[in-house]
Amino acid sequence: MDETLLLQKGQAFLALQPFSVLIGAELHALSTGKCELHVPVTPHILQQNGFVHGGVVSYAADNALTYAGGTVLDWAVVTSEFKINYVRPAIGERLIARAEVVHAGKSQAVCRCDVFVVAAGQEKLCAVAQGTIVRLPGQAGAT
Protein backbone atom coordinates (compact mmCIF):
# COMPACT_ATOMS: atom_id res chain seq x y z
CA MET A 1 0.00 0.00 0.00
CA ASP A 2 1.21 3.51 -0.81
CA GLU A 3 2.75 5.21 2.27
CA THR A 4 0.39 8.20 2.01
CA LEU A 5 -2.65 5.89 1.99
CA LEU A 6 -1.15 3.82 4.80
CA LEU A 7 -0.70 6.94 6.94
CA GLN A 8 -4.23 8.14 6.18
CA LYS A 9 -5.67 4.74 7.12
CA GLY A 10 -3.66 4.75 10.35
CA GLN A 11 -4.78 8.28 11.20
CA ALA A 12 -8.41 7.23 10.69
CA PHE A 13 -7.93 4.35 13.16
CA LEU A 14 -6.28 6.69 15.67
CA ALA A 15 -9.27 9.04 15.45
CA LEU A 16 -11.48 6.12 16.60
CA GLN A 17 -9.51 5.77 19.87
CA PRO A 18 -11.08 8.06 22.51
CA PHE A 19 -7.98 8.10 24.75
CA SER A 20 -5.70 8.96 21.83
CA VAL A 21 -8.00 11.85 20.92
CA LEU A 22 -8.17 12.97 24.58
CA ILE A 23 -4.38 13.36 24.86
CA GLY A 24 -3.92 14.76 21.34
CA ALA A 25 -1.87 11.88 19.93
CA GLU A 26 -0.83 12.27 16.29
CA LEU A 27 0.28 9.58 13.88
CA HIS A 28 3.20 11.38 12.27
CA ALA A 29 4.63 8.66 10.00
CA LEU A 30 3.63 5.13 9.04
CA SER A 31 5.21 2.73 6.59
CA THR A 32 5.37 -1.04 6.38
CA GLY A 33 6.87 -2.22 9.66
CA LYS A 34 7.51 1.29 11.05
CA CYS A 35 5.56 3.91 12.97
CA GLU A 36 6.17 7.32 14.50
CA LEU A 37 3.59 8.60 16.99
CA HIS A 38 3.68 12.04 18.65
CA VAL A 39 2.01 13.17 21.88
CA PRO A 40 2.08 16.85 22.87
CA VAL A 41 3.08 17.39 26.49
CA THR A 42 0.34 19.29 28.32
CA PRO A 43 -0.30 19.84 32.04
CA HIS A 44 -3.06 17.20 31.90
CA ILE A 45 -0.62 14.32 31.29
CA LEU A 46 1.95 15.23 33.97
CA GLN A 47 2.40 13.51 37.30
CA GLN A 48 3.01 15.29 40.63
CA ASN A 49 6.74 15.92 39.98
CA GLY A 50 6.15 17.57 36.61
CA PHE A 51 7.19 14.59 34.47
CA VAL A 52 4.99 13.06 31.79
CA HIS A 53 3.10 10.30 33.58
CA GLY A 54 4.64 6.88 32.97
CA GLY A 55 1.28 5.58 31.78
CA VAL A 56 1.29 8.12 28.94
CA VAL A 57 4.86 7.23 27.98
CA SER A 58 3.78 3.58 28.04
CA TYR A 59 0.69 4.40 25.93
CA ALA A 60 2.88 6.05 23.28
CA ALA A 61 5.19 3.03 23.10
CA ASP A 62 2.36 0.50 23.08
CA ASN A 63 0.38 2.28 20.38
CA ALA A 64 3.45 2.79 18.18
CA LEU A 65 4.37 -0.90 18.57
CA THR A 66 0.84 -1.94 17.64
CA TYR A 67 0.77 0.28 14.57
CA ALA A 68 4.13 -1.02 13.36
CA GLY A 69 2.99 -4.62 13.85
CA GLY A 70 -0.41 -3.91 12.33
CA THR A 71 1.14 -2.81 9.06
CA VAL A 72 2.59 -6.29 8.52
CA LEU A 73 -0.31 -8.28 10.04
CA ASP A 74 -3.21 -6.66 8.17
CA TRP A 75 -4.40 -4.19 10.83
CA ALA A 76 -6.74 -6.23 13.06
CA VAL A 77 -4.22 -6.63 15.88
CA VAL A 78 -3.70 -6.23 19.62
CA THR A 79 -0.71 -6.27 21.94
CA SER A 80 -0.26 -9.67 23.59
CA GLU A 81 2.74 -8.69 25.73
CA PHE A 82 4.74 -5.58 26.35
CA LYS A 83 7.79 -4.47 28.35
CA ILE A 84 9.09 -0.97 28.94
CA ASN A 85 12.21 0.47 30.54
CA TYR A 86 12.07 4.11 31.61
CA VAL A 87 15.55 5.60 31.26
CA ARG A 88 14.90 9.24 32.22
CA PRO A 89 11.97 11.43 33.22
CA ALA A 90 10.08 12.85 30.25
CA ILE A 91 10.29 16.62 30.62
CA GLY A 92 9.72 18.69 27.50
CA GLU A 93 7.22 19.72 24.86
CA ARG A 94 6.47 16.51 22.93
CA LEU A 95 6.86 12.74 23.10
CA ILE A 96 7.95 10.88 19.99
CA ALA A 97 7.55 7.10 19.89
CA ARG A 98 9.37 5.36 17.04
CA ALA A 99 8.61 1.67 16.58
CA GLU A 100 9.71 -0.95 14.13
CA VAL A 101 9.06 -4.62 13.48
CA VAL A 102 11.98 -6.83 14.45
CA HIS A 103 10.42 -10.09 13.23
CA ALA A 104 7.03 -10.93 11.74
CA GLY A 105 5.36 -14.29 11.24
CA LYS A 106 1.87 -15.13 9.99
CA SER A 107 0.04 -14.25 13.19
CA GLN A 108 2.42 -12.23 15.34
CA ALA A 109 5.14 -9.61 15.12
CA VAL A 110 7.84 -8.74 17.64
CA CYS A 111 8.46 -5.00 17.66
CA ARG A 112 10.66 -2.53 19.50
CA CYS A 113 10.17 1.13 20.25
CA ASP A 114 12.23 4.08 21.47
CA VAL A 115 10.35 6.92 23.13
CA PHE A 116 11.96 10.36 23.08
CA VAL A 117 10.98 13.61 24.70
CA VAL A 118 11.68 16.80 22.76
CA ALA A 119 13.01 19.62 24.92
CA ALA A 120 14.40 22.86 23.49
CA GLY A 121 14.45 21.28 20.03
CA GLN A 122 16.53 18.26 21.09
CA GLU A 123 15.37 14.67 21.41
CA LYS A 124 16.30 12.77 24.56
CA LEU A 125 15.62 9.07 25.00
CA CYS A 126 13.23 8.52 27.91
CA ALA A 127 12.05 4.91 27.41
CA VAL A 128 12.74 1.72 25.47
CA ALA A 129 10.02 -0.88 24.88
CA GLN A 130 9.45 -4.21 23.20
CA GLY A 131 6.20 -6.01 22.52
CA THR A 132 4.52 -8.83 20.70
CA ILE A 133 1.65 -7.84 18.45
CA VAL A 134 -0.85 -10.52 17.42
CA ARG A 135 -3.53 -10.77 14.76
CA LEU A 136 -7.02 -11.07 16.20
CA PRO A 137 -8.54 -14.53 15.69
CA GLY A 138 -10.60 -14.78 12.52
CA GLN A 139 -9.18 -11.51 11.21
CA ALA A 140 -6.63 -12.77 8.68
CA GLY A 141 -6.47 -10.42 5.73
CA ALA A 142 -8.63 -7.74 7.38
CA THR A 143 -8.33 -4.30 5.84
Q: Quick one: which H or E segment has residue 5?
A: helix 3-15
Task: Spell out the domain ranges in the chain.
Answer: 3-135
Q: What is the pTM of this model?
A: 0.93
Rounded to an integer, what distance in angstroms lies between the CA atom of residue 89 and that of residue 115? Answer: 11
Mean pLDDT over 36-43 rounds to: 98
**Alpha-carbon distances of 1 from 16, 20, 78, 132, rounded to whole Å:** 21, 24, 21, 23
pLDDT value at position 33? Answer: 96
pLDDT of 62 above 90: yes
Crossing angle for the helix pair 3-15 and 54-72, nearest 10 degrees?
A: 130
100 CB burial (10 A radius; 0-12, 13-18, 19+)? middle
63 pLDDT above the threshold of 80: yes
Q: Is 34 left (phi over 0), alpha (psi -120 to 50) or beta?
A: beta
∠ at Cα 120 (49, 21), nearest 5°? Answer: 65
CB 46 within 8 A of CB 52: yes
Torsion over CA: 51, 55, 61, 63 (sign): negative
Condensed to tens digits (0 to 9), the pLDDT of residues 72-105 reads 998 899 999 999 999 999 999 999 999 999 999 9
Question: CATH classification of 3-135 is 1.20.140.10, yes or no?
Answer: no
pLDDT tens-digit profile of 47-61?
999 999 999 999 999
Q: Is 8 helix (H, G, I), strand (E, B) or coil?
A: helix
**Cα 66 from Cα 45, distance rounded (Å):** 21
What pLDDT, on the 0 to 100 scale, is given for residue 77? 95
